Amino acid sequence: MQDFLPWHGFFGGVLIGTSAALFLLLSGRISGISGILENLLTPRGPDFGCSIAYLVGLPLGAVAVGALAPGLVPSVSLTGTWPLLVVAGLLVGFGTRMSGGCTSGHGVCGLPRFSTRGIVATAVFMLVTAVTVFITRHVV
């Protein structure tokens, strides 16, 4: 097992679920981060302000963990040249919005309400991601 951290994962997951639960029960919204990001592109839309607040909150959460418990902060290591980063970014941006959601909207919020579209989309992107990783790590 390579750096397998079940309790870090589980506790982080509980925080993610709590965040999505608060956003649902207090503001009535699904925590779909690709959708929230897309709102940045429509500054006159009704959700622009909330989306900015949410997106500012994400890195602030990382900063808060760093301030309270520096030992819990991982390093971020990217392996890839910039053309690869651009291609991957374009695919993630285009694909998530074409599909109407990403790991948060389809996965964290779609699966627990047994949404057919969320379950299908999550199954497809998890499978394709695994195949892609297999090809890049073991074939090419």
Partner 1 sequence: MTLLVALLAGVLFGAGLTIARMVDPQKVLNFFDFAAIPAGTWDPTLMFVFLGALPVMFVAFRLQRRMAKPAFDVKFRIPDRSDIDAPLVVGAALFGVGWGLVGLCPGPSITALALAGPALGDVATFIAAMLAGMGISLLWRRWTSIPSRHAR
Binding to partner 1, residues 49-88 (CB under 8 A): 49-51, 53-66, 72-80, 82, 84-88
CA 82, CA 73: separation in Å to the nearest integer? 25
- Interface of this chain with partner 1, residues 114 to 133, rule: CB under 8 A: 115-118, 120-122, 124-133
**List 43, 44, 70, 102, residue binding partner 1 (CB under 8 A):** 102
CB of 44 to partner 1, least distance (A): 14
44 vs 77, which CB is nearer to partner 1? 77
The answer to whether 23 and 31 are in contact (CB under 8 A) is yes
Beta strands in 52-95 (DSSP E): none
What Rg do the C-alpha atoms of the chain give, in angstroms? 17
Residues numbered 2 to 41 that lie near partner 1 (CB under 8 A) are 2-38, 40-41
Rounded least distance, CB 107 to partner 1, Å: 7
Distance CA 85, CA 109 (A): 27
# chain residues binding partner 1, by CB under 8 A: 119
Backbone angles phi, psi at 86, to 5 degrees: -65, -45
Taking a C-beta distance cutoff of 8 angstroms, is the pair 31, 101 a contact? Answer: no
Q: How far is the CB of 108 from partner 1 (least distance, A)?
A: 5
Beta carbon of residue 139, minimum distance to partner 1 (angstroms, whole number): 10
